[in-house]
Amino acid sequence: MTEPRAARAVRLDQPREPRRFVPRLNSDAFGRFSERIARFLGTGRFLAYQTGLVAIWIILNLTALRLQWDPYPFILLNLVFSTQAAYAAPLILLAQNRQADRDRVTIEEDRQRALAAKADTEYLARELAAVRIAIGDLATRDYIRSELARLVDDAPDRRGQ
């Protein structure tokens, strides 16, 4: 049995359904897009393009008689820079956050790998110590020769008996 619509609207233990259109963005795709923009903003090519654009903007607004869309204080140019900065800063921060997440995963994998290598090294050290102890109990070639020589020296001369 379903509840009436009025009863569903007052339930506080369940979230309400959105009533307006909210675009759904693929956060991973948007993150990759922001990383590409952030990488481009940090290049010399971007600085060269922007410097060229600003130089052309200023030259045209100072010298062209008919094309002066932004006279001397260049208020429109400042507005363009402000808008660019307003969008660039969050995109750069998003790219940095994604890089920090990747770094965190890499650090955790490196830590796990280091722990496994340490455990393997400790195991091999214990095994090597056990082998050394076992070899210490074995008779070596030099030990057997010295014992045989001692027996030969201690044995009575049988030829003379």
| pLDDT range class, residue 139, cuts 50, 70, 90 | confident
Residue 115, pLDDT score: 97
**CA-to-CA distance for 6 and 13, rounded, in angstroms?**
15
Cα distances from 19 to residues 15, 23, 77, 142, 159, in angstroms, run 12, 12, 40, 92, 118
The Cα 49–Cα 52 span in angstroms is 5
Per-residue model confidence (pLDDT) at position 60: 87
